Amino acid sequence: MTNETPSKVTWQADSTHPELAETLREKLRDIVDPEIGLNIIQLGLVRDLIIEEDRAHVKMILTTPFCPYGPALLEMSRKKVEEVLGKPTTIEMGMEMWDFSMMEEGAGGDWGLF
């Protein structure tokens, strides 16, 4: 049993490269959804991060299937991970439907959700 909040997404990199995972979590907070005003970590959009010896792979979802900023958010995320790790990075867009429960604890406070 961990002390993590239930809304925190656990990435594969959390167990394989914990220091890098935490650094990336902080750096990815720079990427903000301009329509919502929250970053991709607060929203819980980065669903997994896998760091391998020669590359990295990120699985993300969007808040809505036709998010007008989706392609830009995906590309900014890929570039940020690549920049931090210095490794080629791929992005996979997951088909999981986003909902408010995926947000970090307290992130929805401004919306009156939590």
Decide if pLDDT at 5 tops 50.
Answer: no
Q: What is the mean pLDDT of residues 92-110?
A: 83
Q: Give the C-alpha separation, 98 to 88, whole Å.
A: 27
Q: What is the pTM of this model?
A: 0.86
Decide if pLDDT at 7 tops 90.
Answer: no
- What does the pLDDT read at residue 3? 43
Q: Which amino acid is at 113?
A: L
Q: Give the C-alpha separation, 58 to 73, whole Å.
A: 12
- What does the pLDDT read at residue 6? 42
Residue with the bigger pLDDT between 106 and 114: it is 106
Q: Give the C-alpha separation, 10 to 22, whole Å.
A: 11
**Looking at domain 12-96, what is its CATH homologous superfamily?**
Fe-S cluster assembly (FSCA) (3.30.300.130)
Q: Give the C-alpha separation, 15 to 113, whole Å.
A: 31
- pLDDT tens-digit map of 16-71: 999 999 999 999 999 999 999 999 999 999 999 999 999 999 999 999 988 999 99
